[in-house]
Amino acid sequence: MEKMRKFLSLLILILSTSCWVNAQEVEEVFQNSPILNEARVTVRNIYVHGNRITKNYMVVREVVMKKNESYSISEILSGLDKSKNNLMNTALFVSVNMYFNNWINDSVDIHAEVDERWYYFPIPYFKPMDRNIQVWAKDYGFSLKRVNFGMKFMGENISGRNDKLNIWLMDGFSRRLAIKYYNPFSDPKLRFGWAIDVNKNWNKEIFYKSANNKQLFLRVPNQYIKKELYFGTTLSYRKGSINRHYLRAGWHASSIADTIFKLNNQYLGDNIQSTSYPELQYTFQHLNINYFPYPTKGSLFIADFLRKGVNSKMNLSQLYFRYGRFVEFHKKYYFGVMADAHLKVPFKQPYINQYMLGYGDRYIRGLERYVVDGVAGGTLKGTIGKEFYSMKVNSGIKSKAYQTIPFKFYVKLYGDVGYVYSKDNVFQNQLNNKLLYSFGAGVDIVSIYDFVMRLEFTYNQFNKLGLYLHNYESRY
């Protein structure tokens, strides 16, 4: 039975690869068509329609064709599609339509029609602090004591240059004050950007270690048992539409109460209750996909290096890589393969530096209720899906952009494998240092404002079938 489960999990990945090869051959034939490549036209003008706040030059920046330059018809057609993807991935617009007209004397006009999003959201905040809905429901019975509440102000595209201002005022499970401003295009050539980030956190409850691959929590109602302060700045560089560079420098300070120290004296480091240290992080992103929240075509590659500390009290060098490939084929089918790799050195690390699987979007489907901490590991995930239904719902809002709300529904099969190495607490955490795997089927719902809801029926290596629910939260 165990061999059969592993076979089914890996079979999906093999099938995905064969589909990718076939799709690549079809795309290559289209791109090499002599007729489409021989005829050339010049882009006379690029017009932008529908933008009220977004600057014209911010839209034109994402159009891959340039004014007064010559292109083949094949390049024009593929460029319109790529430009639409670029504009949708700015997260500034509800919809985008790209087209050309006025083909006169071997020259054309390019048009970008956009419907802008709402950019300001002063909204109440209510969110469980557990890693996912499954943990909150099954382990804590939807306890309201594990909820953060407050006000979150989200300002997008404040000056029309896709800049962002976020202010968080939280209380409840933990208290948080945070402000972040990011201006991605601050120079005349729209390549360099910068950000500032300040966070202050107080926690009455934290997880201080893991056992049986579950987080162990301690709560002290009338005392903040962990305090954190972070401030930093980020420089960004983006010459084109695909490759992005980020360099972040910051300072982090943490302290824990005596109660936590007695339960785990390796929480912050070797027998210390407080620490402060500098952080330096470089991130490279290659994002050549059609839609960030739910990619079905293209590729992505992320490389990240993080350095924490300058002495033995905090000494971490961390490498992280992620690669994804997505291909559309035959009547709205798609396949995707995603791989992650993580390495932290030296291998002896405080507990707060050992988070690996089970946090954020780094998990094996079907093992969402578990955490697997360690210093090295990776995952490989394969998915085959098909868009089987789409619809538009009348919202009743008298607005061109929001009069109807589109929904797309996908059905999928998938398989995951993973591995995490740890030299600590191996006997207490049985999922470490062994192959992890699962497979299943699900339905995904995709709509505007990066809405993605995933309903997944997953069979895991514990011979258990479960229903799991996920929503999209951007990491890019």
Question: What pLDDT score does 40 carry?
Answer: 86
Q: Is the pLDDT of residue 62 over 90?
A: yes
Question: What pLDDT score does 448 carry?
Answer: 84
Q: In angstroms, what CA-CA distances link 316 with 79, 285, 302, 310, 340?
A: 43, 22, 20, 9, 19
Question: What pLDDT score does 34 carry?
Answer: 65
Choose among 188, 256, 249, 170: nearest CA to 218: 256
pTM for this entry: 0.81
pLDDT in tens, 409-468: 999 999 999 999 998 766 678 899 999 999 999 999 999 888 899 999 999 988 999 998
- For residue 468, the one-letter residue type is Y
Question: What pLDDT score does 175 carry?
Answer: 81
- The pLDDT-based confidence of 13 (bands split at 50, 70, 90) is very low
Question: What pLDDT score does 473 carry?
Answer: 57
**What domains are defined for the chain?**
33-116 (3.10.20.310), 184-471 (2.40.160.50)
As a whole number of Å, the CA-based R_g of the chain is: 24
pLDDT > 70: what percent of the chain? 84
Largest interatomic CA distance in the chain: 80
Question: What pLDDT score does 1 carry?
Answer: 47
| Mean pLDDT confidence for 324-342 | 93
Cβ-based neighbour number of residue 83 at 10 Å? 22
Question: What pLDDT score does 343 carry?
Answer: 97
Written as one string, the DSSP assignment of 60-116 is HHH-SS-TT-EEEHHHHHHHHHHHHHHHHTTT-EEEEEEEEEEEETTEEEEEEEEEE
- For residue 149, the one-letter residue type is F
274-289/192-203 β-pairing: unpaired
pLDDT in tens, 264-312: 999 999 899 999 999 999 999 999 999 888 999 999 999 999 999 988 8
Choose among 116, 21, 43, 105: nearest CA to 449: 116
Q: What is the DSSP letter of 372?
A: B
Question: What pLDDT score does 20 carry?
Answer: 38
Q: Is the pLDDT of residue 242 over 70?
A: yes
pLDDT in tens, 122-170: 777 666 666 566 666 666 667 666 666 677 788 889 989 999 999 988 7
Q: Is the pLDDT of residue 18 over 50?
A: no
* 307 contacts 316 by C-beta, under 8 angstroms: yes
- For residue 82, the one-letter residue type is K
| Mean pLDDT confidence for 89-107 | 90
Size of the chain in residues:
476
Of 149 and 90, the one with more pLDDT: 90
Choose among 352, 377, 353: nearest CA to 363: 377
Three-class secondary structure of residue 156 per DSSP:
strand
* 337 contacts 350 by C-beta, under 8 angstroms: no
| Mean pLDDT confidence for 398-402 | 71
Q: Is residue 85 left, alpha or beta, with left meaning phi > 0 and alpha meaning psi from -120 to 50?
A: alpha
274-289/333-345 β-pairing: unpaired
Q: Is residue 406 reached through a cis peptide bond, with omega within 30 degrees of 0 on the bond before it?
A: no
